Amino acid sequence: MPIKIVECIPNFSEARRSAVVEQIMEAIRSVKGVQLLDQHSDLDHNRTVLTFVGEPAAVEEAAFAVIAKAAELIDLNVHEGQHPRIGAADVVPFVPISGVTMVECVEMAHRLGKRVAEELGIPVYFYEEAALRPERKNLEDIRRGEYEGLKELIATDPTREPDLGPKVLGPAGATIIGAREALIAYNIYLNTTDVSIAEKIARRVRHSSGGFRFVKAIGLLVEGRAQVSMNLTNYHRTPMALVTETVRREAERYGTSIHHSEIVGLIPNQALVNAAAWYLQVEDFDLEQLLDNRLFSFQMEQMMEAPQPEENFLDQVAEGTPSPGGGSAAAYTGALAAALVVMVARLTVGKSKYAQAEVECWQVIEAGEALRAKLTQAVDLDAAAFEGILTARKLPKETENQKQERSQAIKEATLQAARVPLETAQLALEVLKLAVRMAAIGNLSAISDAAAGANLALAALKSAALNVCINLQGLEQETEPAQMLKELADLEQQAEPMMQDLEESLWQRAGLSI
């Protein structure tokens, strides 16, 4: 299994106060499992771009920590700089690097945005692949008018209201969070102070005004020189060398030339290899010809040769020991059902054919993952509850007091052993609801997977119900057990019409009958 690595490249509206930048970087370093790879601070832009990588959960945590730190230290009301901005932590994109899909990065963006809005009270906008509105895919559209303009409109203009969070801008402004492919921040400086020339060249090369499909560009005056500041969003489709030569030719038209260029942050090897091959006119060059790449591949193979776990859950169930047993198996089945539901939702998002279901599918992914986590936890909780009964039965029973204490402990442990599968049944019903919904609106190619998830969820519910009933035998007339059994009957009753809805969706959408 490939190592999961995500890259995060947050942009901050600060570069001139080095102590502030250092504190922001320290917020990243403080999170275990991430590595800060690069810092680029531009004094004229008054902007710092950081790059860090790590496994997804750690990167997500570090992103939250660094947004919180920037909000604490940066006041947009007194900020000045050449670069457009609306927030202290202005833009926070996630980029899939290894073993991670774009959909997973979108989910990271949405989770982070929800947390930033709820815990920090900062307005959040989603962009690129994480955009919830098509008109917000482009970063420049969200940032139009900058902090000052957005501050006036955020509460009154529906087109400028945030995706999440308050409709008011505080000193930290708003944060734009997204998921995207690798982007190259590439600036070309000209041998002139005339910024209008840079602006004309930017219009020539950027896609929005008829230029290259994967180039965004603006003209700026930086360090006393006109600068064409660009983002190359797909270096495979719009190569760096082609962009550079176009800027060179356009500069000559206006009587100037390129002074130098710079790369902000990190850049994929392939982009530079492509440029080198173009300029050197090398035919059929392959990355495998790079010695460093071959050595890196060898090192990664060595690292990934980790021993496999000695046993898994299925092995444990098959051992012949009392636990884990039926209750744990029910929870495991429910978690598997939730995984199928999330899979179908992920196969639906991003497809133009199912654009109307996009927002709801993201909600299903979030809810399904939460249910999967709870049901996975219930696997161990059920086993622990059964062990509690065994422990209670081992209590001493020499005296009357000991007998009473033992009897009470057994009863409480038995009730707990019923409560856990009851919660499993509750969670399984929620999974069933999501599965039936995905069968109705999800990717038609995966409708059988949604149906499989629904049937597994129903099986989890019924299996959990058996464990509730057997643990409550002889206690049915008591208050809590009676209430638990009533709730269990209600859950099973709710499941029946859901399965009927599933059959209807299968027949109407795919001609399937079960």
pLDDT digits (tens, 9 = 90+) for 170-203: 999 999 999 998 889 999 999 999 999 999 999 9
Please check the confidence at residue 337 and state whether its pLDDT lies above 70. yes
Tens of pLDDT, residue by residue over 453-472, are 999 999 999 999 998 898 88
Q: What's the average model confidence in pLDDT over 115-140?
A: 94
Q: What's the average model confidence in pLDDT over 270-283?
A: 88
Cα–Cα distance, 4 to 38 (Å, whole number): 20
Cis geometry, peptide bond prior to residue 324 (ω within 30 degrees of 0): yes
Higher pLDDT, 490 or 389: 490
Specify burial of residue 36 (Cβ count, 10 A radius: 0-12, 13-18, 19+). middle
Residue 449 CA: distances (Å) to CA of 312, 355, 433: 24, 20, 14
Please check the confidence at residue 474 and state whether its pLDDT lies above 70. yes
Angle at 90 between CA 272 and CA 54, to 5 degrees: 55
Tens of pLDDT, residue by residue over 361-408, are 999 999 999 999 999 999 989 888 888 888 888 888 888 888 888 888
* Confidence band for 493, pLDDT divided at 50, 70 and 90: very high
- Indicate the domain borders of the chain: 5-179, 184-283, 321-510
Buried b (16+ CB within 10 A) or exposed e, 287-296: eeeeeeeeee
Looking at 223-300, which runs of residues are DSSP E strands? 225-232, 258-264
Comparing CA positions, the residue from 101, 86, 99, 102 lying closest to residue 4 is: 99
User: What's residue 130's pLDDT?
Assistant: 94
- Show which residues are catalytic: 83, 382
* Confidence band for 2, pLDDT divided at 50, 70 and 90: low
Which CATH number is 321-510 given? 1.20.120.680
Handedness of CA 285, 262, 249, 230 (dihedral sign): positive
Evaluate whether 442 touches 354 at the Cβ level (below 8 Å). Answer: yes
Please check the confidence at residue 82 and state whether its pLDDT lies above 90. no
Comparing CA positions, the residue from 322, 499, 501 lying closest to residue 428 is: 499
Three-state DSSP class for residue 219:
strand
Cα–Cα distance, 57 to 46 (Å, whole number): 30
Evaluate whether 8 touches 59 at the Cβ level (below 8 Å). Answer: yes
**What is the average pLDDT value for the chain, to the nearest integer?**
91
CATH topology of domain 184-283: Alpha-Beta Plaits (3.30.70)
Range in 75-84, 88-97, 286-295, 481-490 with the lowest mean pLDDT: 286-295
Which CATH number is 5-179 given? 3.30.990.10
Q: Rank 24-28, 290-294, 352-356 by mean pLDDT and report only the highest.
A: 24-28
Residues in the chain, total = 514
Residue 351 CA: distances (Å) to CA of 96, 127, 354, 468: 19, 17, 6, 42
Q: What's the average model confidence in pLDDT over 214-220?
A: 93
Contacts of 377 (CB under 8 A, 6+ apart): none
User: What's residue 308's pLDDT?
Assistant: 47
Cα–Cα distance, 216 to 170 (Å, whole number): 29
Query: Do the two domains 5-179 and 321-510 of this chain adopt the same fold?
Result: no
Q: What percent of the chain has pLDDT over 90?
A: 67
Q: What's the average model confidence in pLDDT over 327-339?
A: 94
Evaluate whether 301 touches 427 at the Cβ level (below 8 Å). Answer: no
Please check the confidence at residue 352 and state whether its pLDDT lies above 80. yes
Q: What's the average model confidence in pLDDT over 479-485?
A: 89
List the beta bridge partners of residue 355. Answer: none
* Confidence band for 310, pLDDT divided at 50, 70 and 90: very low
User: What's residue 25's pLDDT?
Assistant: 96
